[in-house]
Amino acid sequence: MSGKVYLVGAGPGDPELLTRKAWRVLQVADVVLHDELVSKEILRVLPPATQVVNVGKRCGAKTIAQPEINQRMICAAREGRIVARLKNGDPLLFGRAGEEIEALRAAGVEFEVIPGVTAVLGAAASARFSLTDRRHASRVVFLTAHRADGAGLSAERNEPASTTYVIYMPGNRYAELAAELKAAGIGPEVACVVISRATTREEKVSRTTVGKLPECPPAAAPSLLVIGEVAGAAAGDEVREGEISSAAYEEVLSLALQHPSHEDVYGGSGAE
């Protein structure tokens, strides 16, 4: 019997932001291979019998190389198992899904991509601003601070006054990123916001400017950096911690765990 691999978006961290399809697959998966940035709240909703393997990296140190991750997915599927490759946010946005899709296709393994709420949408909702507020921005540019070729941000040549920049995986390289942003024509007065662990009870929002970005306190991963007038349009304190209480969060998680099963939602069984 042939298995199947699902590339699943975990969303930004709150279990209630999992899609119904993602939830359904996670409840029936035999194996879950997850990235380091998937929240512990998401992992807590997995059934006890599921084989759960962390294949991510911490502080830039890879524990398992990408080819090995590919091989684990392929081998498990060939054993007839349902595999969920669980990624923070959306798997198709800076999630190395392209490499994994290529490997699965080459191996002749059946696979499906289940999109998730990408991290920046959860982060913007937490920080309470619109990425495309028509009064401030006519475009959004998604960037990563970790390109495979080592390229920086200085090649960006958009119109900063009408652009919202979103930098995934900024780490704490704020001084270096500020210099690259300035080199791209983004002035020191331009607002920016760092959102850490968005939509979880450990969420932290820090507001600053490009010029003062090097002074921003370190943010716990996963974090995002948003630059542009929209970041300055939001009202609020310079630094805002997650506002949901521990008791309230447990209640929310309890409600999430009562999410309708795949049989109730889809009228069928299994992950197909």
User: Is 73 noted as a catalytic residue in this protein?
Assistant: no
The DSSP bridge partners found for residue 145 are none
User: Is 57 noted as a catalytic residue in this protein?
Assistant: yes
Which of 62, 14, 12 shows the shortest CA–CA distance to 37? Answer: 12
Q: Which of 30, 57, 182, 212 is catalytic?
A: 57
What is d(CA 69, CA 55) in angstroms, rounded to the nearest whole number? 7
Reduced to 3 states (helix: H, G, I; strand: E, B; else coil), residue 166 is strand
Contacts of 201 (CB under 8 A, 6+ apart): 242, 244, 245, 246, 249
Q: 101 and 111 in contact (C-beta within 8 Å)?
A: yes
- For residue 91, cis peptide bond before it (omega within 30 degrees of 0): no
Q: Which of 4, 14, 21, 35 is catalytic?
A: 35
60: alpha, beta or left, given left = phi > 0 and alpha = psi -120 to 50? left
Which of 86, 144, 140 shows the shortest CA–CA distance to 116? Answer: 86
Quote the Cα angle for 148-154-157, to 5°: 115
User: Is 169 noted as a catalytic residue in this protein?
Assistant: yes
Q: Which of 4, 90, 169, 204 is catalytic?
A: 169
What are the phi and psi torsion angles at 50 (to 5°)?
Answer: -70, 135
Can you read off the two tokens belonging to residue 8?
């699943």
Residues noted as catalytic? 35, 57, 169
